[in-house]
Every structure is written in C-alpha cells, then in structure tokens.
Structure 1
C-alpha cells in the first residue's frame, strides 16, 4: 500500500470515528471480539513484504467540528448541573462531597444554631422579703444610701423601693423604737432618736468628746449659709483671719473646695455630705433661717463697719 493510500485510510477512519458518549449501547450478548480483532489487525496480502507498522491510535483531535459542537453543549450542561448541585443553600456553608467522604462533619447551618438564652430577670420580691432585705442593708451601711442604689442591689424597680422605705420609717416611729429611719444627704440611714442621745453619748464617748471650737463653728456657719464662698469673704464676715480654721474643717471632712472664683481666682469652699449627715439634713435648704437670730440693730452695725 502506498503512502497516499495509507493517509486516505487514516482520514477515513478519523471521519468515521464516533465519540464514546454518542455510540449506541451494545446488546446484552457481547459479540465475538476475536473476529473483529482479526479483521483489524490481520495484514493484507499486499502488505506482507512491508515492514510491520505499529497499531494506529485514534487521535483525540480527529473529531469533526460538528462532533465538537455537539459535545461542548452537553459538557457545559453537565458542568452547570454539577455546579448547581454543589451550590450551598442560603444560610448554609458549602461542604464538598470530598470533605464528607474524608470524614469532615458538615457545619451546622446558621438557622439551626443554638441561641444562648438571654439572662432572665430577677424574680420580684414580695413586700415582706423586700422590707427585710432593705432593713438588713440599712443596718450595715456607714453612710446614707440612695433609693437608686438599693434598687440596683436588690434588682427591683426604684419606684417600688421608695414607698417601702417610707412605710418602714413610719412603722419605726409608730412602734416607738429607740432608732428611726431618716432621709439625710440624699439617702436613707438609721439614726438614734434625739431623746436617747444622752445615753448614746455616755456609751460611745465615755465622758470624752472632741468638739469644734467656737471659731470653727462660726466659720462652718458662714460656709453653710454663704456657700460657695472664698476664704477672704469668710475672714471679712468674721473680722479675723480664718485660714487655719478652714484647714481644720477640710481635714475633718466638713468643708471641701469646689472650684475657683472667676474674677480673683481664689478657691471656693462649700459644705460636704458629711456635714449634712452630721446635722441630719437632706439638703442645705433645710437649714434654719437666720432672721430670728439676728440682733435688732443689725443694720446699724453694718453701717458702722463700713
């Protein structure tokens, strides 16, 4: 066989080649492949004198353009179907088949995740329990405590704590106890009754008491009624220098600095919460008026000092 005949034979074989996916399914009984193999591989008489040629392999690129055109859409459709199957559901992470086969557990979807329950509100106390809890706290406080702080500690509404405190105070007064619940310095605290002050002083002080001097009391009164006030103003009212007395009152916690004066830059002083607590007052507005204690000729004395 000449080279041209051999090329024509190869071209015919390439043209007659059908892709595997388009070939018809073989029947149930498989044909005898021995005859087919003998027909294909047996050399023809005309080629006995030629050297043996290697078996011809069907080139993959020998498919006609029409076959390629038919094969590409099918392959694209299969790719799209595979991508649709592998696309994760909304709200669920993607896990491939290979990861499942490898033993990787599928992550739980966002919609199925367990949500931690919010902290439940504290149970509401009964009136008896609330009253007992308030009395227990008030027995250990060392300074007046506000209704808001008590409500936060007991986890109860603030509007419920106030009326209960009023009932407790009224109950102590009605029962005639030696102590009372009183509002002072913006909060509540237990105090001994004034009629038993003599016995309390005798027990606590044992005949020894540290009292403020007359100068300290006068200076403290000026600060209480004129606050905020500077040291020069206090000295002008009292007629003497009061620097040492102011230092003593600041050390005892009855007076504190509260800024500076705009014009002169001098320090301003005011009374503290401890001052209100010691006097049993809620605010400085409860201080007694000064008019009953002033002399009748106060205007004449003021003119004389000028």
Structure 2
C-alpha cells in the first residue's frame, strides 16, 4: 500500500472514531483471574492491538481531553479547600502547617481572649467602696468607681444606696450623699456646731508675747535680718521666727547684699488679720515711746 493510500485510510479511521465518553457503556464482564477487568474509558478489557492503536495515535489530542478537564477542576478544588480553612494558597505545607496542629495546613492560631475580672462579693465590694470614699477630695461618679474596681456599673449604684441607708440607720456623725454628679462623705448638719468649733479653734490660737514682739519688729523694720531682730529684742529669736513663718504671718524675701543673711517681711495674711491695706497703715510708734528715750539710749551705750 502506498503512502497516500495509507494516509487516506488513517484519516477515514480517525473521522469514524468515537470518543470513549460518547460510546454506550457495554455491560461489564465478570473479572476472572486470567482475564483483566474492563476499562471504563475504552469499553473493553482486551489489550489494544492493530488499528485501535492507530486510532488512538491519530486522535491523540482527543484522548488527552479528559485529563485536561480533570486538571482544570483541581485549582477550583484547591480554592474550595482554602476557603474551608485547611490550607491557604501559596503557604508551604509542613508538619501541622502554620497552626501547629497535626493534619491541618495553614490554619492560624486564634488570639486568646483576656480573662474576665473577678466578681467581688457584696461584703468585699462594700469595703472597697468605703475605702475609696474616705480618701476622695471631691464627689466621685459611679462610672469611675466601676472602672477602678473592674465591676459592673449596675452593681455600684445599689450598693452605694445601701451604704448610705446603713449610715443613716446607725446614726453615724457622717453620711454618704450624692452631690455634683457623684458620691462623697459629709458630716451631718446636726453636728455642724462641733465641727465649726474644732476647725476655728486651731486658727484662733493666740500668739505668745515673744511672738508678738518679734512680729512687731519685723512689721516696722521690714525687710530685716534675723540677727537684727535678735539685736533689737536682746534675745535669740530663731524659734519664734520659725513659728511665725509656719503660721503664714512672715516670709523670706531675699538676702542681704553685704552679709548674705535672709531677709524677712510680713505677708498678706498679716494684713488681713489686722485689717490693714498695707504696712503704711500701721500706727506710728512715737506716741508709745517713753519721754526719756534718749536717756535710756545713752545708758545702754
């Protein structure tokens, strides 16, 4: 047979060839030990011989189509697995993947949630609230107390009401009162007289004779050094000056240029206590001096 006739024969065979997926499925013969099982794609279990091999060789592209179709499904399957969380595209597979769990690939470990704050019982919550209220210098809100104690704000309000009712029932000299959007401890109005007496008692303490004399010297000679005050009075007045400074009646106002000693002067509180506008309003000393002041001065020389 010539080459041209052979090509025509192969072309006719290729045109008449039916792909395996379009062929009717023949009944499967029972498999035996000597006869191989039927191939579902080729429809027979017999080895390919003769023109069958030629048909497959001539239609090689058609035979490769099932593999191409199956290969096109694989990326979609991988993407579906990635959405499920077992793997992420582009991540390396390892022993347990990124999650560290055997058999799982690319799963990230979830972030642990912070542990909730412990819930205080009523007795401990009551004690904590009382301790805080004893040190506050202004009304504190329920929200601030809840944040400090890490408790629910719904528990703070009823507990404060209970504490306030307990103080009133027990007849304490203080009460827990809501004021300025918060809570604070206050003394009861019926004991205001005793509280006022205690507060004003410390401010109305009389000065000693030595303190009055020292204060007068500073008032009329200011600014003046400590040594000058002692020379005028004739005694050491260091302790008396410290007392006047602590009472807020005298203050330091620099140093002397020659000796470097501290200078003292009276304060604004001194003027408020005496009802003066300035030290120029102090009464003159001349009317209070003795008539023989010059003779006394000569005697001391």
TM-score by length of 1: 0.38
TM-score by length of 2: 0.38
Q: Which has the higher contact order (CA 8 A, sep 6+)?
A: 1
